[in-house]
């Protein structure tokens, strides 16, 4: 049994909103924080939030946030005794976990063995089959190209090419016909190599209109493994989640118990420790299959926090210190939570990223509204990284109340200087099918195909053009003097609709 080793200083090996979010919890726990940053992030919010910060390289992630040696040098230089990887970048890299532990520091996450067993989707499939966890039929890439193509044809189109490493929709392509298999395979491999330093992919049978349901796992060093119920993550664009909620409108108490037990069984099979997420796909007949297990904190973890009254980062740190779980099963959930991911991208133009300077940002507020944000007014949204800039999370006493609150919060959210998906999100949660809980991974393709911003967005742009130069500090020159005491934006109200 492992003894308790208190953590005193944590290096956060990440950037953006997740780094800011982790640093806030560290501050509440009285633990000092160290931020790392690339040259492009010198003025970033996570750098300002931390107690200390270290430059680790040029803007490209391959020369900074993916450099294990430079991150360890920063940890040694600042005297950090632990590292939190966040999500993305090196969070599911077993070599990073091993290197941190090898340097005498605590890795706030699972051990290298568990990451290797579960972080790679092909490995987790084999493990699942061994322990009776259902998986979707799949074909691995073969040097015998004709045999490989025949195996894919036998499985039947459409199929989904998936990167074996990482997540977040990177290295994924849907293939509908035989002639697209090879070119799409090469595209997926290049994207996977760029994102995860691995070009290993496989081909899986593509389920049409399934639900994406995941279970949050917590496990300690003392043999306790529990699940913290499910999250519904079916609203996606390009295989990337954009709206998440808990509880799922689909899941019955009986199905929750069954799927949760399956998730715990998979995690227990490898002696998993810390936070993780077991992801399932549920077909139209109600059958569920393992997608993967993410051996890290998920982007959408805040919805679980709001309905359970937990801080999952704090729980991660307590587990990493060697402390036992504080509960034997999930606390009783209360109400409903909903999360929307705000991206600097143009939904009307193929979701192309919209890098640039944020001229002004007005965050929504009010009871039961939380905004995990990685930018502020004046921040630069870099073309080098994922364009997600914040996560807006709300809680309500039930699902209709949470949806209504999210609508209000999104309408109160103003981001000027870059194009965002704010209005697109409003149209998703305002759709009749969403209100009915009729969700599936093809929701946006079915209901928002060819989406264009409404008249409200145009009116907001015209208002911004008229009042911004005269209303924002830092742009005084445009108005010939200091910004006026009265801010027109505060009286615009529902400015974007």
Catalytic residues: 296
* Number of Cβ within a 10 Å radius of residue 12: 27
d(C-alpha 250, C-alpha 33), whole Å:
40
Burial class (CB in 10 A: 0-12, 13-18, 19+), 101: middle
d(C-alpha 470, C-alpha 188), whole Å:
47
The answer to whether residues 201 and 192 touch, using CB atoms and an 8 Å cutoff, is: yes
Q: Calculate ∠ Cα 190-194-196, nearest 5°.
A: 110
3-state SS of 138-187? Answer: EEECCCCHHHHHHHHHHHCCCEEEEECCCCCCCCCEEECCHHHHHHHHHH
The answer to whether residues 36 and 52 touch, using CB atoms and an 8 Å cutoff, is: no
Dihedral sign of CA atoms 239, 243, 246, 247 in order: negative
d(C-alpha 456, C-alpha 473), whole Å:
26
Contacts of 436 (CB under 8 A, 6+ apart): none
Q: Where are the beta strands (DSSP E) in 13-148?
A: 32-38, 52-57, 82-84, 106-107, 138-140
d(C-alpha 91, C-alpha 22), whole Å:
14
d(C-alpha 205, C-alpha 287), whole Å:
15
For helices 94-102 and 68-78, what crossing angle results, to 10°? 30
Which 8-state DSSP code applies to residue 66? T
The answer to whether residues 70 and 51 touch, using CB atoms and an 8 Å cutoff, is: no
The answer to whether residues 140 and 161 touch, using CB atoms and an 8 Å cutoff, is: no
Q: Where are the beta strands (DSSP E) in 272-411?
A: 274-282, 288-294, 336-343, 345-346, 352-353, 356-357, 360-362, 369-373, 380-381, 388-396
Strand 82-84 relative to strand 9-12, pairing: parallel
């Amino acid at each position: 049994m492992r003894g308790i080793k208190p953590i005193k200083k944590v290096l956060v090996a990440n950037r953006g909103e997740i780094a800011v979010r982790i640093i806030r919890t560290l501050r509440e726990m009285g633990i000092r924080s160290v931020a790392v940053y690339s040259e492009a992030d010198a003025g970033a919010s996570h750098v300002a939030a931390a107690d200390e910060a270290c430059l680790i390289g040029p803007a490209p992630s391959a020369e900074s946030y993916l450099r294990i040696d430079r991150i360890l040098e920063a940890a040694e230089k600042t005297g950090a005794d632990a590292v939190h990887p966040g999500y993305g970048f090196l969070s599911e890299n077993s070599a990073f976990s091993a290197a941190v532990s090898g340097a005498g520091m605590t890795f706030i996450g699972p051990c290298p063995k568990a990451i290797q067993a579960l972080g790679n989707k092909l490995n987790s499939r084999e493990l699942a089959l061994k322990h009776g966890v259902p998986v979707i039929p799949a074909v691995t890439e073969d040097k015998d190209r004709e045999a490989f193509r025949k195996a894919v044809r036998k499985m039947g189109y459409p199929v989904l090419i998936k990167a074996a490493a990482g997540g977040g929709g990177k290295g994924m392509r849907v293939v509908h016909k035989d002639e697209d298999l090879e070119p799409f395979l090469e595209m997926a491999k290049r994207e996977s190599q760029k994102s995860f330093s691995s070009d290993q992919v496989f081909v899986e049978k593509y389920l049409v209109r399934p639900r994406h349901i995941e279970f949050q796992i917590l496990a300690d060093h003392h043999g306790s493994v529990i699940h913290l119920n499910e999250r519904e993550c079916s609203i996606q664009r390009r295989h990337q989640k954009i709206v998440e909620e808990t509880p799922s409108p689909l899941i019955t108490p009986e199905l929750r118990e069954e799927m949760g037990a399956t998730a715990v069984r998979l995690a227990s099979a490898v002696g998993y420790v810390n936070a993780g997420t077991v992801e399932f796909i549920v077909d139209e007949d109600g059958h569920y299959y393992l997608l993967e297990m993410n051996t890290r904190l998920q982007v959408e973890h805040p919805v679980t926090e709001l309905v359970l009254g937990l801080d999952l980062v704090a729980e991660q740190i307590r587990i990493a210190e060697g402390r036992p779980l504080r509960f034997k099963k999930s606390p009783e959930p209360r109400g409903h939570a909903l999360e929307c991911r705000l991206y600097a991208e143009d939904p009307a133009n193929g979701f192309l990223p919209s890098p640039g300077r944020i001229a002004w940002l007005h965050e929504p507020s009010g009871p039961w509204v939380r905004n995990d944000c990685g930018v502020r007014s004046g921040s630069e949204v870099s073309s080098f990284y994922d364009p997600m800039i914040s996560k807006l999370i709300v809680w309500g006493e039930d699902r209709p109340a949470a949806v209504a609150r999210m609508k209000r919060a999104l309408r109160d959210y103003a981001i000027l200087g870059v194009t965002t998906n704010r209005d697109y999100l409003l149209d998703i949660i305002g759709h009749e099918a969403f209100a009915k809980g009729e969700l599936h991974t093809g929701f946006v393709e079915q209901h928002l195909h060819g989406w264009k911003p409404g008249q409200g967005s145009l009116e907001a742009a015209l208002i911004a053009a008229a009042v911004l130069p005269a209303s924002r500090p830092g742009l005084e020159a445009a108005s010939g003097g200091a910004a006026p005491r009265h801010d027109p934006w505060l009286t615009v109200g529902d400015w974007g609709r």
